[in-house]
Amino acid sequence: MGHHAEGHLGGACPLRPGTVVGLFGLGARIRRRSGGVYAVTISDEERELVANLVPQMRDLLVATGGDPAGDPSIRRLFPTAYPDDARRDAEYQQLMRDDLLRTRLEQLEVFAGSVQSEQLTEDELQAWIASINTLRLVLGTRLDVAEDDDLDSIPADEPERTHVAVYHYLGHLLGELVDAAMR
């Protein structure tokens, strides 16, 4: 497995090792309701986990200005548009990076403001999807993991195991959010 996560989104995890695995809920915990709202029945511990990641992500995005040269773990958030043309890609990045950064920061703010809510509007649900995806992409890049990496292959006493479990949890939660949005 890749390097240990350090600093943002890889610092101290608010959960004890092994706790994250217990967060994977069964059944539809995010459901579309009438009136264009979504019911969210995730645990307080889950809400605390994702809420603690938001300021770390916000700080990382602000500190780097969305420039992957400042921290390579954000490169998947600001992808190369023209991989075979450095000049055109630089122009694209110059035109789009600020808008992409502003949008990501706005999504994180909506997510942070609604993380304790038991009901979400469509816009809030979309902000949750975008924010969880952002968190997952950066954490996955920092840990150098992939969806099919097996958590059980990491020794139980390895600190990285908790971070990988958080990565897998974020993927699970993202799937639940997307499923709810598509119903």
Residue 120 and residue 180: Cα distance in Å, rounded?
A: 11
- Helix/strand/coil for 140: helix
Q: Is the pTM of this model over 0.75?
A: yes
- What's 74's DSSP letter? G
The DSSP code for 180 is H
pLDDT tens digits for range 109-128: 999 999 999 999 999 999 99
Instruction: Give me the residue spans of the domains in the chain.
Output: 50-182
Render each residue's pLDDT in the chain as its tens digit; 183 residues.
Answer: 333 333 346 554 444 444 444 455 556 799 999 988 999 999 999 999 999 999 999 999 999 999 988 899 999 999 899 999 999 999 999 999 999 999 999 999 999 999 999 999 999 999 999 999 999 999 999 999 877 777 778 888 888 888 899 999 999 999 999 999 998
CA dihedral in degrees (72, 77, 78, 83; nearest 10)? 80
C-alpha separations of 97 from 18, 58, 64 in Å: 38, 15, 11
Give the span between the Cα atoms of 108 and 64, in whole angstroms.
Answer: 16
